[in-house]
Amino acid sequence: MLTLRNITKTFNPGTVNEKTALTGVDLHLEKGDFVTIIGANGAGKSTLFNAIAGSFLPDTGSITLDGKDVTFQPEYMRAKSIGRLFQDPMRGSAPGMTIEENLALAAGGGGWLSHVSKAEKSAFRDKLALLNMGLEDRMRQPVGLLSGGQRQALTLLMATMVPPKLLLLDEHTAALDPGTAEKVLALTQDIVRDNGLTCMMITHNMSSALELGNRTLMMDAGRILLDLKEDQRKGLTVDDLLRMFKENVGKALDNDRMLLS
Amino acid sequence: MSLSALWGLVQTALELGLTCSLTVLALFLSYSMLNVCDLSTDGCFTLGATVGAVVAIAGHPYLSVPAAMAAGILSGFITAVLQTRMGIDSLLAGIIVNTGLYSINIAVMGKSSQLNMNKTETVFTKLKALLDGTPLAGEYELIIELIAVAAVVVFLALFLRTRLGLAIRATGDNPDMVRSSSINPIFTTTVGLCVANAFTGLSGCLLAQSQKSVDINIGSSMVTIALASLLIGRTFFGKGSIARRAVGVVLGSIIFRLVYTIALRFNMPAFMLKLVSSVIVIIAIAGPYFQSQLPTIRRRLAGTGKGAD
């Protein structure tokens, strides 16, 4: 499904700010995999997502998505098969446009000069109703009027409107209040399960990293340190994870936002 | 002042306001929607005027309009290529194109800095001949301008709701979102600037033909005047559907010309036009900014003299 071979990326090479963000990352995902990713600040988690999404060209290596080499494909073309959510809920939707217009953009389909049809509008309504946030009655309001949680839920809907081959979630609930975060996370699970999506999720919550999905990656210093698949993950606790990290790196995991609960 | 003299004034303001509102609609697309301040507007306006004039003088009054629009599209395309594919800042790209167009406009006019269309057949003289003897005979300029403005407003209202139109609006509204989406911002910016500059070219063409002459300074400061009109329109009709806002900026353009005409009646010298439009743009942009700063200013003022703790 997704294969990364020997991906390396160094930012600002040859300067005092030189930073090697990824070093020889190899990764293979099967279709339907739900991978959670944990790691300290600056471990290269978001950079890994940027490489997969095509925000930059890696210094070495190749990326294959669904049997196709996409290493040199520009970001906007890859975005047709990759859905992406960021921590900042303001990043995924256009505030000056209505909910309906945002969804129409996400739905794509039709020609460039086509308008949104009645059938599509009612389909948007049904999808919005699933969020259970009352957004289906506010379709003509600008998205800028929504709360952070509502916007992130809308972004999730937009990113999965046309089910992507791969869904990248970069701490997408971290900026929300706990109640809303839980709700958006539950929605995420529903959508991923119902559409059988292949999904990668960065989280700072170690226990949900172990609970969710079928595989957990631990990253440090631009490498994948641990790759725990189905059976290896079973029965693991947060304490086990912390111990494994210490054994591999030689120092304790220091992510100041890491939740141990 | 007699009633007919008053109507004469209002008519002049309406005609100028409508003609220039086409440029305001162009900025509505590039500035309000795409969030690009297109400083090539002055040169593109003049380009539309010169190309339209030259084609009309060559004996093609109807062809002159699409020719002027095509010239505008080309100019917009170059501005877009400079800023999307050559790493040139969008403001600088506009200024560079504007400067280059000065030479091109003189070349278009056959190395002259002005052209006369007194005996030339234009879309205006065509309609005037057609309406001769009917009650509408005196309003031929107004009719053509109304048709052009209505066509552009309807086009924009429909276009900005298509998928391409939505993508263009999103490019201006949230560039971060667009960058990580399947919309190619290079494509949307290019299309947006091409369409906007087609309207600017049309605007220049109609102004030149209605005043039966064109000179190299016809478009000078048009960007500031149009921006002032746009911001006036936005103040009064800034919310609601795209169609409503587009009509709003047209009204803004007419209001601007009406106020200007009235000011002239009160003996304001004509050369003040540009200063007035500059001041309007400053007030319209700085006003909301100061409003947002008001709480800070209030606290500062309240805090002085009490001593910091």
Nearest-Cα distance to chain B for A246, in Å, is 35
Give the C-alpha separation, B63 to B51, whole Å.
10
Q: Do B173 and A112 touch (CB under 8 A)?
A: no
Q: Which of A53, A235, A251 is nearest to B181 (CA)?
A: A53
The residues facing A84 across adjacent strands are A168
Q: Examine residue A157 and state whether it is found in any structural domain, yes or no.
A: no
Query: Which CATH number does the domain housing residue A70 bear?
Result: 3.40.50.300
Name the 3-class secondary structure at A167.
strand
Q: Do A84 and B169 touch (CB under 8 A)?
A: no
Q: Examine residue A71 and state whether it is found in any structural domain, yes or no.
A: yes
* Domain edges within chain B: 3-271
Identity of the amino acid at A229: K
pLDDT (tens digit per residue) in B180-218:
888 999 999 999 999 999 999 999 999 999 999 999 999
Q: Which of A53, A80, A97 sits opposite B180 (nearest CB)?
A: A53
Q: Are B222 and B199 within 8 A, CB to CB?
A: no
pLDDT at B287: 83
pLDDT at A156: 93
For A222, the domain range is 2-93+163-249
Q: Which of A91, A93, A104 sits opposite B163 (nearest CB)?
A: A104
Q: Best residue in A82, A112, A162 to probe B by mutation, most B CBs within 10 Å?
A: A112
Length of chain A: 261
Measured torsion, CA atoms of residues A135, A136, A142, A147, in degrees rounded to the nearest 10: 0
Name the 3-class secondary structure at A27.
strand
Nearest-Cα distance to chain B for A239, in Å, is 36
The tally of domains found in chain A comes to 1
User: Which residues 5-44 of B have a C-beta within 8 angstroms of A?
Assistant: none
Q: Examine residue A63 and state whether it is found in any structural domain, yes or no.
A: yes
pLDDT (tens digit per residue) in A77-115:
999 899 999 999 999 999 999 999 999 998 877 788 888
User: Which residues 143-162 of B have a C-beta within 8 angstroms of A?
Assistant: 158-159, 161-162
Contacts of A247 (CB under 8 A, 6+ apart): none
Low-confidence stretches of chain B (pLDDT < 50) are 308-309
Q: Examine residue A88 and state whether it is found in any structural domain, yes or no.
A: yes
User: Hey, how many other C-beta atoms are within 10 angstroms of the C-beta on A14?
Assistant: 7
pLDDT at B26: 97
Confidence label for A253 from pLDDT (cuts 50, 70 and 90): low
Nearest-Cα distance to chain A for B79, in Å, is 22
Crossing angle of helices B222-237 and B273-303, rounded to 10°: 50
Name the DSSP letter for residue A139: T
Length of chain B: 309
The residues facing A64 across adjacent strands are A3, A69
**Interface predicted TM-score (ipTM):** 0.87
What CATH number labels B3-271?
A: 1.10.3470
Give the C-alpha separation, B148 to B143, whole Å.
9
Q: Is B14 exposed, middle or buried (0-12, 13-18, 19+ CB in 10 A)?
A: buried
How many CB pairs below 8 A link A and B?
69
Q: B169 contacts in A (CB within 8 Å)?
A: 94, 96-97, 101
Q: A102 contacts in B (CB within 8 Å)?
A: 170
Q: Examine residue A202 and state whether it is found in any structural domain, yes or no.
A: yes
Q: Are B11 and B146 within 8 A, CB to CB?
A: no
